[in-house]
């Protein structure tokens, strides 16, 4: 059995059932999510796409335990997020979830290495030195470890952020527009690196993006519109993603 | 532009709130001082006017003269237009307490209470003595402290020390008369007052009649030279201004503390505006992009500070009014000897002073930040992320700081070590050095913050894991900001440490001096300097086995050249600290002089002085020795037989007694008490009592000063809270990131608390170091032979409290940070 096949048979890393999220009250009510059912396979790279206001960021925030859904359930692994206290949610994020944000991923007072090790230190866990070296080598940051974020380029900062997400071997990494602030070349680097970490390290990644090229790096793309899951595309190419988007908007 | 500024103010009003609070507190204190002193002053003048209204003209002795002859009263009464004239008697008449001994350190003052419209006494309960020579009234405070009530019988000594009994018929309010308030007051009929005090003349003659101006001329014509004739109005003004001088001193002292508070507030404002400008870089840049000039940006920040200054000064005036009113209530409840019943008013000068100070401090402190704001380039609007401000210790900064520190410490060292101690100028020099040093610290502050936070943060770093480490890093992250924040606290802690070092050192020094030069167990003195202790008292003690030494000292005043000095003698074993010549046994024609007196007279050992004596004419004495000024010996000390020959029989003025070793204190005391039993005006004080009273006075002073400095500390804590909450705001996204990465809310709160703790400790440590050094210098400059003592417990308490206060200041900002929604913070921050 190949690695890929093993993963296919493993239970999904994240599952959402009938997920709804309503902001505001009365006339100002906004249905950000209207009953989303979705599962994200372990060891896969999944992209969430959709036009602005489609609810893709809200979905990610709910899946990651950063925000609480109005109704429905979210499971990360075997843990149900619904109804967890803030403290339990924090501990769950600490142990099982990694993040890469669009901007402002790093603490300006810490060096790159300190930033990478930060999640482990918060959780008071020992770093796996082999993994650390491998991650550093893969992201190509070996000579930049002592620098502070202000001394790194945007692409380097995002690579540090990805390395930080990988180091604690989370069950899932959520990446929110990780290339949104980067030029296309740096963006391509970060995306290849994300894909490599899925292929080589067996990492599960869920990425929110509005860029068809970025989405094409994923194994699968799910499409949202007006808070509903409207399409699901396997083995995407930039062209097939663009076509799907056109169809959805048209 | 103005509209933009005002909109900005509305948007930032929460952030400016803490800032205004700093100014509000400072202005409140200053306004409160004015309210308090103005009201008391108004109370004084009300009373003075009420009293003086009864008087058409008052006749007072002038110059050397201390009383008016009795026959002057008859002459005044004969002046046409005089409706009534009364002579006021004032003199000493010791009141005996229930234990049979005279009350107070000074004899009670007896006054006459005159009948008719010229009666100026304020009887608060019961009645006046009327014309009954067997009745008396007593001032309410003495009555309360010694447990006398209307209807009781009181015993008073007359000038011949004979006891007289009176029925207490009323209680008196001494009003604005500070002498009466201090010694306690007894009121009698004029005849009784004359009999009791033995006064031959009048202290004042009050005249009733119409047209004070013409009356004044007429009375002055008969009064002749050596007296002063005042109209009632002039008398009131005279009395009020005497009370006013005291109030002025109190006002100035309180305002000093107010100014310290305002200085701290200025630092807080400066810091806040700096942070606000830094946070609004993009907003300001956008304004520049769409065409605002540098001047307009500068103006907008300044207008903001004007509004903040005005609003907080007005609030401060209100707070000051409340503070003044509450203090007056408290003083009334404590029955302080001050008139606190005048209507509480906020006078125009107080309003002007409060507004001006509040406005000037706020705008002044905002000037530099406003200038910084003009340096924001329009292009900054386009940058996505505020650039990290790095701070480098410039050579200029280090050099100028070193210059200030060297000059300051050098000046202080000169004041403390080189200049003569005990003189005001030395202390002024030391304080000047203190100000220079402080400026040096202010300049070098940002450089010190990093190493100090590493030092102070060593334990929290180990103790609190990641939050602790991040907190210590954050504390040193913006050195300029951290330095200004902590310096505000440093001011208060420096002054507190300085005061506590000075009081502790004074205590130790004085105790040492007492032991060394005044090694006595008991001291006998009388209430009045000129009255005296019969020689028999000392002689009866001399043979007692419980006592080892009894030294009797006699003295009187005599003319030497143009001076009146104390000339006296002693019997018994005493060896003063001889600074020049040799004292040995003083022979006929010889004198030993206290060094300060010798300096005043301009004589040295070996010179001769001419002393005008009572019984032997002017004698010429050879100065054989000079002795230290702290000695209990009379300033000019001669041999005993010579003293008798010069001045005749003079009773003892002081008796110094030492108990024998191994005799229990209460037995020795019993012997001494028994010897003075028949002499109610003799006071027995023991060295422990003297020291205890001294300690109490010092403790009280320390407490009051610490309380007043507390305001400055409070304002600096507002500064810490303010800086922290602005930093929290600035780091919203950072906090959210940490929360997303798994930092719990509690850990985030702890992180901010530790940051505040580190800031508080840095401020306190610098303050303790400065306060310790300058406390030492100040005590060296103030006291000759000062012994340095640092109250380590108190100082440790200051440091601990500063740290704790810092943590308290962090409570609200930390709570806000921990409660912020992660998602919102990530997207909007």
For A93, the closest of B740, B747, B823 (CB atoms) is: B740
* Distances from the Cα of B743 to the Cα of A13, B81, B170, B724, B740, angstroms: 23, 94, 75, 19, 7
How confident is the model over B133-154, as pLDDT tens digits?
899 999 988 898 888 999 999 9
Q: What is the average pLDDT across B768-785?
A: 87
In terms of residues, how long is chain B?
829
Q: What is the mean pLDDT of residues B359-370?
A: 91
What is the rounded CA–CA span in Å between residue B259 and residue B275? 24
Proportion of chain B above pLDDT 90, given as a percent: 14
> What is the distance between the alpha carbons of residues B498 and B768, in angstroms, rounded to a whole number?
8
Enter the tokens of residue B613.
């004596």
Chain B residues contacting A via beta carbons under 8 Å: 384-385, 387-388, 465-466, 470, 473-474, 477, 733-734, 737-747, 821-823, 826-827, 829
CB of A169 less than 8 A from some CB of B? no
- Check whether A37 has a pLDDT greater than 90: yes
Q: Is A230 on the interface with B (CB under 8 A)?
A: no
pLDDT at position B395 is 83
- Report the gap between the CA of A104 and the closest CA in chain B (Å): 7
What is each CA distance from B581 to B134, B190, B606, in whole angstroms? 59, 55, 8
Integer distance in angstroms from the first to the last C-alpha of chain B? Answer: 26
Average pLDDT for B418-434: 83
| Confidence band for A217, pLDDT divided at 50, 70 and 90 | very high
> Cα dihedral angle (B772, B774, B777, B779), rounded to 10 degrees?
-70
Structure letter (DSSP) for residue B533? B
Which member of A57, A94, A110 has the closest CB to residue B742? A94
The string of pLDDT tens digits covering residues B624-659 is 988 877 778 888 999 988 898 898 888 888 888 888
Residue B789: how many CA atoms within 13 Å on its side-chain side? 17
pLDDT value at residue A101: 85
Chain A residues with beta carbon closer than 8 angstroms to that of B824: none
Average pLDDT of chain B to the nearest whole number: 85
Reading the block at residue B67, the tokens are 């009383």
Residue B752 has pLDDT above 70, yes or no: yes
**Residue B467 in contact with residue B746, Cβ under 8 Å?**
no
Which residues, 6 or more positions from A38, have their beta carbon under 8 angstroms from its beta carbon?
Answer: A15, A16, A59, A222, A229
Identify the pLDDT of residue B829: 42
A vs B, Cβ pairs < 8 A, gives 74
pLDDT of residue B274: 85
Least Cα separation, residue B722 to chain A (angstroms): 21
Q: What angle do CA B817, B818, B821 make, to 5 degrees?
A: 85
User: Is A121 near chain B, with CB under 8 Å?
Assistant: yes
pLDDT of B118 strictly over 70: yes
Hey, which residues 64-83 in chain A have their CB within 8 Å of chain B?
64, 66-67
Cβ-defined contact of B823 to A66 (cutoff 8 Å): yes
CA–CA separation, B334 vs B343, rounded Å?
18
Query: Sorting pLDDT into bands at 50, 70 and 90, what band is B392?
Result: low
A108 inside 8 A of chain B by CB:
yes
Closest-CA distance of chain B to residue A100, Å: 10
Q: Is residue B285 pLDDT above 90, yes or no?
A: no
Q: What span, in angstroms and rounded, lies between the C-alpha atoms of B591 and B570?
A: 12
User: Is B829 close to A86, i.e. CB distance below 8 A?
Assistant: no
Q: How far apart are CA B815 and CA A233, in angstroms?
A: 45
Which pLDDT score is estimated for A20?
92
Residue whose C-alpha is closest to residue B475's, from B280, B731, B261, B263:
B731
Q: Check CB contact under 8 Å for B737 and A90.
A: no
Which chain A residue lies closest to B475 (C-alpha atoms)? A109
For CA atoms A157, A159, A161, A167, give the dihedral sign. negative
Question: What is the arithmetic mean of pLDDT over A195-210?
Answer: 90
Question: Helices then strands (H, E): number in chain B?
Answer: 26, 22
Contact A109 B473 (CB under 8 A): yes
Contact call for B747 and A104, based on CB within 8 A: no
| Cα-based distances in Å from A141 to A99, A116, A129 | 19, 11, 15
Rounded to the nearest 5 degrees, what angle is found at the Cα of A246, between the Cα atoms of A242 and A248? 115
Instruction: Please report the residues numbered 178 through 217 in chain A whose beta carbons come closer than 8 angstroms to any beta carbon of chain B.
Output: 181
**Nearest in space to B98 (alpha carbons), one of B64, B145, B53, B62:** B145
> Who among B470, B821, B826 is closest to A101 (CB)?
B826
Span A143-194, pLDDT tens digits: 888 998 888 888 889 889 989 888 888 999 999 889 888 888 889 988 998 9
Question: Searching chain A, which residue's CA lies closest to the CA of residue B390?
Answer: A150
Mutation target vs B (from A52, A64, A90, A121; most B CBs, 10 A cutoff): A90
Reference B798, options B485, B494, B451; nearest CA is B494
Please tell me whether residue B173 adopts helix, strand or coil conformation: strand
ipTM score over 0.90, yes or no: no
* Contact flag B747-A122 (C-beta cutoff 8 Å): yes
Which tens digit of pLDDT belongs to each residue from B651-662? 888 888 888 888
CA B353 to CA B105: how far, in whole Å? 41
Cβ–Cβ contact A127 with B under 8 A = no
pTM more than 0.95: no
Residue B188 confidence (pLDDT): 92
Residues of B in contact with A119 (CB under 8 A): 741-742
Residue B177: pLDDT band with limits 50, 70, 90 = confident
Q: Report the range of poorest mean pLDDT among A191-195, B45-49, B189-193.
A: B45-49
Q: Under 8 Å CB-to-CB from A147, ≥6 apart: which residues? A: A111, A112
Asked if pLDDT for residue B531 goes beyond 70, the answer is no
Measure the CA–CA gap between B588 and B642, rounded to whole angstroms: 6
């Amino acid at each position: 059995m190949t690695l890929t096949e093993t993963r296919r048979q493993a239970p999904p890393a994240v599952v959402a059932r009938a997920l709804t999220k309503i902001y505001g009250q009365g006339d100002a009510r906004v249905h950000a999510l209207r009953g989303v059912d979705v599962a994200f396979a372990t060891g896969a790279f999944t992209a969430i796409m959709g036009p602005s206001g489609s609810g893709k960021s809200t979905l990610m925030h709910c899946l990651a335990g950063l925000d609480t859904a109005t109704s429905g359930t979210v499971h990360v692994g075997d843990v149900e997020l619904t109804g967890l206290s803030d403290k339990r949610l924090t501990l769950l994020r600490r142990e099982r979830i990694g993040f890469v944000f669009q901007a402002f991923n790093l603490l300006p007072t810490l060096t790159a290495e300190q930033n990478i090790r930060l999640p482990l230190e918060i959780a008071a866990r020992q770093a796996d030195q082999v993994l650390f070296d491998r991650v550093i080598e893969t992201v190509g940051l070996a000579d930049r470890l002592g620098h502070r974020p202000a001394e790194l380029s945007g692409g380097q900062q995002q690579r540090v952020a990805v390395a930080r997400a990988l180091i604690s071997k989370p069950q899932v990494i959520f990446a929110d527009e990780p290339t949104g602030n980067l030029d296309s070349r740096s963006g391509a680097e970060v995306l290849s690196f994300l894909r490599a970490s899925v292929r080589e390290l067996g990492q599960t990644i869920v990425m929110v993006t509005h860029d068809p090229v970025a989405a094409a790096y994923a194994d699968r793309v799910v499409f949202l519109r007006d808070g509903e899951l409207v399409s699901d595309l396997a083995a995407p190419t930039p062209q097939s993603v663009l076509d799907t988007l056109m169809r959805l908007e048209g | 532009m103005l509209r933009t500024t005002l909109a900005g103010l509305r948007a930032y009003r929460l952030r400016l709130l803490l800032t205004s609070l700093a100014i509000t507190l400072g202005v409140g204190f200053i306004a409160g001082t004015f309210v308090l002193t103005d009201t008391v002053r108004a109370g004084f003048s009300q009373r003075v006017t009420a009293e003086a209204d009864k008087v058409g003209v008052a006749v007072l002795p002038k110059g050397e003269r201390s009383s008016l002859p009795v026959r002057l009263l008859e002459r005044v009464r004969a002046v046409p237009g005089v409706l009534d004239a009364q002579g006021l008697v004032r003199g000493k008449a010791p009141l005996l307490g229930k234990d049979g001994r005279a009350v107070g350190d000074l004899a009670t003052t007896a006054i006459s209470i005159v009948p008719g419209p010229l009666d100026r006494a304020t009887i608060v309960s019961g009645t006046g003595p009327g014309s009954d020579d067997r009745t008396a009234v007593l001032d309410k405070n003495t009555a309360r402290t010694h447990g006398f009530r209307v209807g009781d019988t009181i015993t008073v000594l007359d000038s011949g020390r004979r006891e007289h009994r009176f029925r207490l018929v009323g209680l008196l309010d001494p009003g604005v008369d500070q002498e009466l308030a201090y010694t306690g007051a007894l009121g009698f009929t004029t005849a009784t007052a004359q009999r009791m005090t033995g006064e031959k003349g009048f202290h004042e003659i009050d005249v009733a009649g119409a047209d004070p101006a013409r009356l004044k001329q007429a009375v002055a014509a008969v009064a002749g030279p050596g007296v002063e004739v005042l109209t009632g109005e002039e008398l009131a003004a005279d009395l009020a201004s005497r009370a006013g001088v005291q109030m002025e001193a109190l006002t100035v002292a309180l305002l000093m503390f107010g100014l310290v508070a305002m200085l701290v507030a200025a630092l807080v404002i400066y810091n806040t505006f700096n942070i606000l400008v830094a946070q609004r870089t993009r907003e300001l840049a956008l304004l520049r992009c769409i065409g605002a000039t540098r001047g307009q940006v500068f103006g907008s920040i300044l207008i903001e500070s004007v509004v903040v200054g005005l609003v907080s000064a007005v609030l401060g005036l209100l707070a000051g009014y409340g503070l003044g009113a509450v203090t007056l209530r408290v003083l009334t409840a404590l029955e302080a000897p001050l008139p606190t019943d005048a209507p509480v008013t906020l006078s125009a000068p107080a309003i002007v002073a409060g507004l001006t100070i509040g406005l000037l401090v706020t705008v002044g402190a905002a000037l530099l930040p406003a200038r910084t704001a003009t340096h924001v380039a329009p292009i900054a609007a386009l940058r996505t992320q505020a650039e990290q401000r790095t701070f480098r210790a410039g050579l200029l900064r280090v050099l100028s700081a070193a210059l200030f520190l060297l000059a300051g410490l050098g000046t202080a060292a000169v004041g403390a070590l080189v200049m003569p101690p005990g003189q005001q100028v030395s202390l002024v020099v030391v304080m000047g050095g203190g100000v220079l040093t402080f400026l040096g610290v202010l300049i070098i502050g940002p450089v010190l913050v990093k190493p100090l936070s590493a030092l102070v943060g060593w334990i929290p770093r180990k103790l609190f894991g990641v939050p602790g480490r991040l907190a210590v890093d954050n504390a040193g992250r913006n050195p300029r900001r951290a330095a200004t924040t902590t310096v505000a606290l440093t001011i208060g802690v420096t002054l507190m440490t300085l005061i506590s070092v000075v009081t502790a050192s004074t205590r130790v020094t004085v105790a040492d001096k007492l032991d060394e030069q005044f090694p006595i167990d008991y001291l006998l003195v009388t209430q009045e300097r000129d009255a005296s202790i019969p020689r028999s008292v000392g002689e009866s003690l001399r043979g007692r086995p419980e006592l080892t030494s009894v030294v009797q000292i006699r003295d009187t005043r005599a003319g030497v050249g143009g001076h009146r000095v104390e000339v006296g003698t002693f019997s018994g074993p005493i060896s003063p600290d001889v600074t020049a010549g040799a004292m040995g046994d003083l022979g006929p024609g010889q004198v030993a002089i206290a060094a300060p007196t010798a300096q005043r007279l301009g004589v040295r050992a070996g010179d001769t002085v001419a002393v005008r004596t009572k019984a032997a004419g002017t004698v010429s004495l050879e100065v054989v020795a000079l002795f230290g000024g702290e000695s209990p010996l009379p300033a000019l000390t001669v041999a005993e037989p010579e003293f008798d020959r010069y001045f005749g029989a003079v009773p003892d003025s002081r008796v110094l007694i030492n108990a024998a070793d191994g005799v229990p204190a209460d037995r020795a005391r019993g012997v001494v008490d028994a010897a003075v039993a028949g002499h109610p005006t003799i006071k027995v004080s023991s060295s422990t009592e003297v020291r205890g009273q001294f300690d109490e006075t010092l403790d009280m002073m320390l407490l009051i000063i610490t309380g007043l400095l507390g305001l400055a500390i409070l304002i600096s804590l507002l500064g810490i809270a303010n800086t922290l909450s602005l930093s929290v705001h600035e780091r919203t996204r950072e906090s959210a990131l940490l929360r997303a990465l798994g930092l719990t809310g509690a850990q985030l709160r702890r992180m901010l608390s530790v940051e505040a703790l580190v800031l508080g400790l840095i401020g306190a440590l610098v303050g303790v170091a400065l306060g310790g050094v300058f406390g030492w210098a100040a005590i060296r400059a103030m006291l000759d032979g000062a012994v340095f003592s640092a109250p380590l417990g108190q100082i440790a308490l200051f440091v601990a409290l500063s740290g704790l206060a810092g943590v308290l200041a962090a409570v609200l900002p930390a709570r806000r940070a921990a409660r912020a929604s992660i998602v919102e913070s990530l997207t909007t921050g």
